[in-house]
Amino acid sequence: MRFPRLIPLICLVTCLAASAWSADLTGNWAVRQDQHDGTERRTYFDLKQDGDRITGHIRATQFYYAIKESTGEADGFTLTGSMIDVDKKERKVTYRGKLIGDELHIAAAGRGGAPGTDMVAHRAPAGEGAYPARVDLPALHKVPDNGLAKTPPMGWNSWNKFHGRVDDAAVRGMADAIASNGMKDAGYLYVNIDDTWEGYRDAAGNIQSNKKFPDMKALADYVHGKGLKLGIYSSPRPDTCAGYEGTYGHETQDAKTYAAWGIDYLKYDWCAARNLYAAEEMQAVYQKMGDALLAAGRASKRPIVFSLCQYGNDDVWKWGPDVGGNLWRTTGDIRDAWDSMTKIGFAQNDLAQWAKPGHWNDPDMLEIGNGMMSDTEYRTHMSLWSMLAAPLLAGNDLRDMTPGIKEILMNREVIAIDQDKAGKQGKRMSLAGDQEIWMRDLDGGAKAVALFNRGGDAAKMSVKWKDLGVKGKARDLWAHANVKVEGEEFAATVPSHGVVLLRVSK
């Protein structure tokens, strides 16, 4: 008996089965996500499938993973990538996905192994998204001092509050606020744009800003018109931390562009340059940009402050000045939280010898006013950063501050400690449980003395006048009141998570 109608069906089933068995993930796959600013965030999966084994690399923003583990095949697979992070610890990522037609549906596994947001990847030309060839680094030499930042820079940075939401209007709004609310008169001068301003490069390789910043030169002119200065951000790798265009291979070109725009300050973030260079090569990498900024600044008669952001790796404080650095991060990123701020700030004691006029240790930007700490804790934050001779870069929305936050950020007496022209960083005098006393030598023989109570309850603290090496007059800088200098010691009840900050002089 014949079954003519069944033959096509049998063929169809057989063909589909053969197609499923022959499906191969081998190739270069790209996920393109619209950033709504004229750019795309791209994630690349460069895969090679050999049966049930998948190898290759994953490139996602600042991260570049080698695939170390895999299970399954095209109809359902799991990939685990591994890389060594900047802190020399292993970082892993796991993706789950499957091939549907000519689309690769894939998602990063979140906590508990659950899949995250589904992404769709399509085949891309071989080599697209691959890391560029390594550019050789120059021999080490000392970059001449640019003569800037004789006191720690003061201003504002967009990242802590706005992250990727920063745009031209927000920057202009911050400049307006600084110029009108008293911050400019208190010393805040820099208006700094962090990551996500970058567009693509033109045919000549010149960096362009994206749609959020339609005219960077016009923005710089606006900020300068307020009597302020404009800062910008980049990275020595092909991409920035957020996955935007970096400076790799364009150091001289980008420095000239910044100068032509009217940029006064560059934050240069190591981020994932680790994928191209070893930690011990950081000095040469930063020197390359230091040379470029110095040359561009001289040619344009607009010198540019150079801020090194590589989280304190490779003892940056020892070589930061030699690459033209005016300040260098000494820590990982700060959070608007008591534990983060105190862990960072109170760990700076051993770095005091490296701070001096023109060259500063940078424990990261201020979180004052972002809402997750109390005003008492924010006063401690401001006091500690001032004792450290740290840059004071506000990270909140300056257009809408409470009176309490304004008073903290614009306490002229505390700012005077930070900006003291002697440029000597404070150090810990004593530590007893949760109570710490720090002292800083000031110009003219005066001292700044800070009594910090990190504990959960108010505590009585005291310091002997003889231990300060100076006794004459004293002033409480938060109470804005003179203190009687009598007896052998100064004593005060310091609130939980609070501070008493004194200026003592002859």
User: Which residues are annotated as catalytic?
Assistant: 269, 333
For residue 84, the SS3 value is strand
Q: Which two tokens stand for residue 174?
A: 């911050």
DSSP state of 488: S
Which residue from 207, 204, 205, 178 is spatially nearest to 192, judged by alpha carbons?
178
Beta bridge partners of 277: none
DSSP state of 165: G
Which residue from 331, 323, 358, 265 is spatially nearest to 139, judged by alpha carbons?
323
Q: Tell me if 319 sits within 8 A of 283, measured CB to CB.
A: yes
Torsion of CA 489, 492, 497, 503, to 10 degrees: -60
Q: CA 10, CA 429: separation in Å to the nearest integer?
A: 86
Residue 4 phi/psi, 5-degree rounding, is: -60, -35
- What's the distance, Cα to Cα, between the start and end of the chain in Å? 117
With 0-12 CB in 10 A as exposed, 13-18 as middle and 19+ as buried, what is 471?
A: middle
Q: CA 405, CA 399: separation in Å to the nearest integer?
A: 12
With 0-12 CB in 10 A as exposed, 13-18 as middle and 19+ as buried, what is 50?
A: exposed
The DSSP string of 187-212 is T--EEE--SS-EEEE-TT--EEE-TT
Q: CA 68, CA 89: separation in Å to the nearest integer?
A: 16
In whole angstroms, how far apart are CA 495 and each of 167, 438, 461? 39, 17, 10
The DSSP string of 337-353 is SHHHHHHHHTT-GGGGG
With 0-12 CB in 10 A as exposed, 13-18 as middle and 19+ as buried, what is 331?
A: middle
DSSP state of 496: T
For residue 15, the SS3 value is helix
